[in-house]
A and B are shown apart, each in its own frame.
Chain A
């Protein structure tokens, strides 16, 4: 689902972000660290770590982030399109100690670009930087690859809580830019992809003041 969530004037962005990557690269740890700030903790209260939400306030704009975890097993690879349909961003995670998982990320990138074009913001994430001594994917290779496909590259460690906040914050900013560019292109305030796709004329919206309500939880 695209951008400006239900409201026309006061911007509340709703973004859907899919988490892709092989099993065991630490997708779940990453997102749990981001949303609950916990790692391998027995006290994690959440029942599940496959669908998590986060509310952000970025430069006065409210952002609702919905993070969709996906099953990383090879046998579920074919189901990818069902998951990433209508998503605004994708976080592609690999394990820096596992060359194979980086290959998988490359496959995902190819597929996503083919299916969704440039509408989706891609983040390639090398996780487990705390195990740098066992690194099998070189920093240069990963970063140059990311650049070549129009993605950003990040290094994270869910265990040490490094680089994760930055990753998601950066992703949100980029998604907002994309959404705003899209809106400008449409030349009208409310642009929900559903509405444009269905060709519904948009009913006149009264311009609304942005409520100065802070709701930063992160």
Chain B
């Protein structure tokens, strides 16, 4: 080729024709002066860059929002730039472009949060929030929402708010980096780490260690906040609640019912246990609730709904709130029945009854999760803590329940457990088969009452249907005999009065019957 170019005398330097990478092969203008091999490599890199770039952009947008939360954005700026370096580091070209873009954006953000605009107008706030949709590409709606609320909440706190936010971020990163740092060769992990919404954990980090990490964090943060707020425990609690909400919403997926524990097995065991105890009646537990009263049964249903709802919440405090609501409904039910405030003597059996009726999903996991990750000050002393403790008691009681605790003989208990008999009938074992009416009075379970009622209705319907069938059949028979008899009758009549046709009767003979006819009308003359 070189000979050819020389021959034609075109001023092309030898080096211009070679691959720009300097690999020694010739390049091609269509491949930006690269040889085919280098071009392919470059192309791949650019594509890779594009992907990374997208990640980085998403991250950057989020960082900007965070930067907004940091109000005085000098520190935030440097931090996010550093992070930017870390994430895109070696792609200097892209980096440059992006940094320009970012500094521009950060300065606008800075403007919003400069001291002069502390009383931010509504419009500005909306502008600040604007980048959030791009984040939700990667974050689930929930986490996104919670993060936003958290940032909004902390904005009002100025310096301690910023401090708190920083610490929370650092903690979350720390928790997730426990996974990332361990196998440095797995790049895929660190990419999803860039995403920052998926926090991965070292699977071998036991649930107790995770719990310890979180609790240590709560403790440290609370101590710091106390010094910030000069001992105003209410504001500290407020902040701690928000922190718990924020952190636990993000950690929920990885720390709820982790694989390292046998929580799931326990869940199933408890579920089966409660199913096996379906026959336990309100009387056996000595619960002072009259379910016949409509208001009471309404409260019972609400209590059951609340305890089941617990599983759907993510934040330990929200789960506690469900237990508290359930308890309040139980108290109402007892209050209506007994007309006096419920003591623990009334409350615990009622709660056990509710748990048995509800069979709440993943009960053990939920209890463990709350125990491990709830802010301890709330769990141990507050009202919520009391109800939670009672729930733990109820579960412990259900697990250990035996004949004695229900005032039954061991034989009876065995029979009920094996499903041979059901307590409703055993109490009136002697009389129920012979007297059907007695059944209705002895049965207290509303479902069974309903069942019996339905059965009665069905029996009634059956007899009535039979009557209808009989009547229909007799009607059919009647119809047949009727048509027969009509036919018979017609036949008889026809036989009795046979049709005789007299052929000339109808013919009129004008000549013969003259006498019978009136005289013909003759014309009369009037006008004469």
Instruction: Give the interface of A toward B (CB within 8 A).
Output: 1, 5-10, 12, 14, 16, 19, 23, 27-28, 32, 42, 44, 46-51, 53, 64, 66, 68-73, 75-76, 78-79, 82-83, 86, 190, 192, 194-195, 198, 200, 202-206, 208, 211
Is B341 a contact of A76 with CB atoms below 8 Å? no
- B230 on interface, CB distance cutoff 8 Å: yes
Q: Mark B235-276, 1 if CB is under 8 A from A, else 0.
A: 011000000000000000000000000000000000000000
Asked whether, in the complex, the Cβ of A200 is within 8 Å of the Cβ of B220, the reply is yes
**Is A76 a contact partner of B397 (Cβ separation < 8 A)?**
yes
Please state if B215 and A44 are interface contacts (CB–CB under 8 Å): no
Question: Chain B residues with Cβ under 8 A from A71's Cβ?
Answer: 344-345, 347-349, 393
Q: Which residues of A contact B381 (CB under 8 A)?
A: 1, 5, 14, 16, 64, 66
A195 to B226, CA, bound (A): 14
Nearest CB of chain B from residue A151's CB, rounded to whole Å: 22
Residues of A contacting B134 with CB < 8 Å? none
A44:B340 contact, CB within 8 angstroms: yes
The answer to whether residues A47 and B335 also contact, given A9-B231, A206-B227 and a CB cut-off of 8 A, is yes
Given A83-B389, A194-B219: A50 touches B344 (CB 8 Å cut-off) = yes
Q: Is B339 an interface residue (CB 8 A)?
A: yes
Least CB separation from A22: chain B residue: B345
Q: Beyond the given A51-B386, A198-B212, A198-B216, please list 4 additional residue pairs across the A-B interface where CB-CB is below 8 A.
A: A16-B381, A47-B342, A48-B334, A208-B231
Check B139 for interface membership: any CB of A closer than 8 A.
no
Q: Which residues of B contact A (CB under 8 A)?
A: 212, 215-216, 219-220, 222-224, 226-227, 230-231, 233, 236-237, 286, 328, 331-332, 334-335, 339-345, 347-349, 376-377, 380-383, 386-387, 389, 392-393, 396-397, 400, 404-405
Residues of A within 8 A of B212 (CB): 198
Q: By the criterion CB–CB under 8 Å, are A66 and B341 in contact?
A: no
Most B C-beta atoms less than 10 A away, residue of A47, A50, A72: A50
The one of B230, B344, B383, B400 in contact with A70, judged by C-beta atoms closer than 8 angstroms, is B344
- From B212, B231, B342, name the one whose CB has the most chain A CB atoms within 10 angstroms: B231
Q: B290 to nearest A CB, angstroms?
A: 17
Is B223 touching A205 in the complex (CB atoms < 8 A)?
A: yes
Expressed in whole angstroms, the minimum distance between the Cβ of B310 and any Cβ of chain A is 18
Closest to B341 in A: A49
Q: Which chain B positions have C-beta within 8 A of A79?
A: 348, 393, 396-397
Chain A: CB-nearest residue to B339: A42
Q: Which residues of A contact B383 (CB under 8 A)?
A: 51, 53, 66
Which are the 8 A-B pairs with shortest beta-carbon distances?
Answer: A1-B380, A28-B343, A6-B233, A69-B344, A71-B348, A7-B231, A50-B344, A51-B386
- Kindly list chain B residues whose C-beta atoms are within 8 Å of the C-beta of A64: 381
B223 pairs with A203, CB closer than 8 A: yes
The complex places the Cα of A190 from the Cα of B222 at a distance, in Å, of 12
List, in ascending order, chain B residues with CB within 8 A of A6's CB.
222, 226, 231, 233, 236-237, 377
B residues near A9, Cβ cutoff 8 Å: 231
Docked complex Cα distance between A195 and B400 (Å): 33
Query: How many angstroms from the CA of A28 to the CA of B345 in the assembled complex?
Result: 9
Tell whether, in the assembled complex, residue A198 and residue B215 are in contact, meaning their CB atoms are under 8 Å apart: yes
**A8 partner residues in chain B, CB cutoff 8 A:** 223, 226-227, 231
Q: Can you list 12 contacts pairing A with B, beta carbon distance less than 8 Å?
A: A5-B377, A6-B377, A8-B227, A10-B231, A47-B328, A47-B335, A48-B343, A50-B343, A71-B348, A200-B216, A203-B220, A203-B223
In the complex, the answer to whether A50 meets B347 with C-beta atoms within 8 Å is yes
A202 to chain B, nearest CB (A): 6
| Interchain CB contact under 8 A, A7 and B342 | no
A200 touches B396 (CB 8 A): no
Q: Which of B222, B377, B396 contacts A1 (CB 8 A)?
A: B377
Instruction: Give the one of B223, B286, B344, B405 with max A CB within 10 A.
Output: B344
Cα A89 to Cα B237 in complex, Å, equals 24
Q: What A residues does B396 contact at CB under 8 A?
A: 78-79, 82
- Pairwise interchain contact B219-A198, C-beta atoms closer than 8 A: yes
> In the assembly, what is the distance between CA of A198 and CA of B397, in Å?
29
Contact of A44 among B220, B341, B382 (CB under 8 A): B341
Is there contact, CB below 8 Å, between B349 and A195? no
A48 with B226: in contact, given A1-B381, A66-B381 (CB under 8 Å)? no
Residue of B nearest to A64 (CB): B381
Report the Cα distance A68→B349, complex, angstroms: 16
State how many angstroms separate the Cβ of B363 from the closest Cβ of chain A.
15
